[in-house]
């Protein structure tokens, strides 16, 4: 992609309204623009990141046996009256009336909608278990939208819903999602800590929030430091096997949010205790028969008896993650994208646009990177080197290939790793393999 043809409206000034790094950087890097309080447009660079996050979420959900669907953003109030939540939800729910005078709402979540689908289309115990998910925009009229996409009113969420015959089977579904969440965040280069959360009306321990560590997080976490050494990638995991030992290994290590932490009773203290701030990027919980009972969702057992569905729901803040990743990965110069979610794999900085030699080396670099299956943003603007360097650092692509008149004569370029600033002087032939190697 040639930058002269791209839409990348970067800002030099720090926008006054932005209080935290990710919000500032998303605005400065031209990723998003505010459309209204807590409502954002995603510009090309930001949209690429969002899509890459979505892809990882899709892949890990499907690996874990969940099936992608797409439910609407607009829902009928009558459906929510069945569960009792139309009145219970409060002012966070955006209520709308259509031209026929029917009450509708912009979905803040989808338990009712998915329960209706299961109620209508699943009749037999043989149809269970099932896990369906979608990645869809939600609207919650948050009282205090802030921090850019981190607490928006309109935001993109992955929400999955599992349906099982009984508690034991529902626990297996829960464990599967638990592991899938660990893998999902690990693939994004994040360190996620599962915190025991309030489970609402059902009780029990099947409710966890996943929090990633970042200095500006809203949640203060107190956790056993050994959680940092756990294998979050869950390598070699077998979703058909028993995941209880894996989940146990994670949940047996202490982790609590501020409001639940009691230094008197906590099993770890001193240097074994990690105290850090975190951002909630996901929440999973088992809610039993709450919705199936209210809405009459059941299946027939072999003996003809009807059995209510046991449900769980599993959310990931997809748009919040774009901000959360930046909170976890940036420096004074800008964003430092983990390879897996970077909007482009590499950037090319041509220090002397218009110079035939530099132009041809830069074009060759672009071609080679493409041929290797990499996505690249080529800064071919007629700008000062300083401007190009600072924009490239700001948007945080993992690699920069710097083409200047000195090296160009001998087909040499500088390869810079954004994360540590390390620079290598090498031939163009060696630069591409070097980038590819780092990704395997």
What are the residues binding ligand ATP (CB under 6 A)? 109, 140, 142, 151-152, 155, 157, 280-283, 315, 317, 319-320
Contact of 126 with 90, CB cutoff 8 Å: no
Q: Which of 135, 114, 131 is nearest to 176 (CA)?
A: 131
Closest approach of ligand ATP to the CB of residue 155, in Å: 4
Evaluate whether 105 touches 77 at the Cβ level (below 8 Å).
Answer: yes
Closer of 295 and 324 to ligand ATP (Cβ): 324
Nearer to ligand ATP, 71 or 426 (CB): 71
CB of 262 to ligand ATP, least distance (A): 21
What are the residues whose beta carbons fall under 8 Å from the beta carbon of 307, sequence distance 6 or more? 125, 165, 166, 298, 299, 300, 301
Alpha carbon distance 392, 389 (integer Å): 5
Q: Which is nearer to ligand ATP, 30 or 217 (CB)?
A: 217
Omega cis (within 30) before 129: yes
Angle between helices 167-187 and 244-251 (to 10 degrees): 60
Under 8 Å CB-to-CB from 427, ≥6 apart: which residues? 410, 411, 412, 413
Cβ proximity to ligand ATP: between 37 and 301 the closer is 37
By the 10 Å C-beta count (0-12 exposed, 13-18 middle, 19+ buried), 363 is classed as middle
Least separation in angstroms between CB 343 and ligand ATP = 20
Min. distance of Cβ 319 from ligand ATP in angstroms? 6
Return the residue nearest ligand ATP (CB atom). 317
Q: Least distance to ligand ATP from the beta carbon of 377, Å?
A: 27
Give the Å distances, CA to CA, from 153 to 181, 283, 343, 397: 24, 18, 24, 29
Pick the closer one to ligand ATP by CB: 201 or 241. Answer: 201
Which residue lies nearer to ligand ATP by CB, 282 or 396? 282
CB of 13 to ligand ATP, least distance (A): 26
Cβ proximity to ligand ATP: between 288 and 315 the closer is 315
- To ligand ATP, the closest distance from the beta carbon of 149 in angstroms equals 6
Closest approach of ligand ATP to the CB of residue 284, in Å: 9
DSSP of 111-131: HHHHHHHHHHH--BGGG-SEE
Please report, for residues 112, 191, 208, 222, 283, the alpha-carbon distance to residue 314 in angstroms, rounded to integers and kept in the order given. 14, 19, 10, 23, 6
Nearer to ligand ATP, 155 or 163 (CB): 155
Signed CA dihedral, 371, 375, 381, 387: sign only: negative
């Amino acid at each position: 992609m040639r930058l002269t043809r791209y839409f990348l409206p970067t800002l030099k000034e720090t926008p006054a309204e932005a209080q935290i790094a990710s919000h500032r950087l998303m605005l400065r890097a031209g990723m998003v623009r505010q459309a209204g309080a807590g409502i954002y447009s995603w510009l090309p660079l930001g949209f690429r990141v969002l899509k890459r996050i979505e892809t990882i979420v899709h892949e890990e959900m499907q690996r874990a046996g969940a099936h992608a669907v797409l439910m609407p953003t607009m829902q009928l109030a009558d459906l929510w009256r069945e569960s009792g939540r139309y009145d219970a939800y409060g002012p966070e729910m955006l209520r709308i009336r259509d031209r026929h005078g029917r009450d509708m709402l912009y979905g803040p979540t989808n338990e009712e909608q998915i329960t209706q689908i299961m109620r209508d289309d699943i009749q037999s115990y043989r149809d269970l278990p099932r896990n369906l998910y979608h990645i869809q925009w939600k609207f919650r009229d948050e009282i205090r939208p802030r921090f850019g996409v981190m607490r928006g009113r309109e935001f993109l969420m992955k929400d999955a819903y599992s349906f099982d015959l009984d508690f034991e089977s529902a626990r297996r579904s829960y464990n599967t999602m638990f592991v899938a969440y660990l893998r999902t965040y690990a693939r994004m280069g994040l360190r996620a800590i599962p915190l025991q959360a309030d489970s609402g009306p059902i009780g029990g321990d099947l409710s966890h929030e996943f929090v990633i560590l970042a200095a500006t997080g809203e949640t203060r976490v107190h956790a056993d430091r050994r959680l940092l050494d756990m294998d979050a990638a869950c390598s070699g995991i077998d979703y058909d096997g028993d995941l209880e030992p894996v989940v146990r290994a994670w949940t047996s290590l202490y982790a609590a949010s501020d409001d639940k932490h009691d230094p008197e009773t906590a099993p770890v203290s001193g240097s074994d205790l990690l105290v850090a701030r975190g951002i909630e990027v996901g929440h999973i919980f088992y809610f039993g028969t709450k919705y199936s009972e209210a809405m009459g969702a059941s299946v027939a057992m072999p003996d003809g008896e009807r059995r209510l569905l046991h449900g769980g729901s599993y959310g990931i803040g997809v748009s919040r993650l774009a901000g959360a990743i930046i909170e976890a990965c940036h420096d004074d110069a800008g964003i430092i994208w983990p390879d897996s979610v970077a909007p482009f794999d590499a950037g090319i900085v041509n220090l002397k646009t218009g110079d035939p030699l530099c132009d041809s080396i830069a074009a060759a670099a672009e071609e080679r990177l493409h041929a290797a299956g990499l996505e690249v943003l080529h800064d071919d603007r007629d700008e000062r080197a300083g401007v190009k360097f600072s924009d490239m650092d700001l948007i945080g692509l993992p690699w920069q290939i710097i083409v200047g008149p000195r090296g160009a004569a001998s087909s040499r370029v500088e390869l810079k790793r954004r994360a540590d600033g390390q620079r290598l002087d090498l031939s163009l032939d060696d630069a591409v393999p070097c980038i590819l190697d780092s990704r395997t």
